[in-house]
Structure 1
Amino acid sequence: MKANHQKEQCMVCEEYREEGIRILFSFLCRDCEKEIVDTETNEVMYDYYVKKLKQMNTSKVEL
Structure 2
Amino acid sequence: MHMFTFFYLAAVDRLSRLRRESDRGDSPVPTAVIIAGLVVAATAVTGLVLQKAESWMNSIPGK
**Which structure is higher in strand share?**
1
TM-score (norm 1): 0.27
Which structure dedicates a bigger proportion of its chain to helix? 2
The normalised TM-score by structure 2 is: 0.27
Q: Relative contact order: is structure 1 or structure 2 higher (C-alpha 8 Å, sep ≥ 6)?
A: 1
Q: Which has the larger radius of gyration?
A: 2
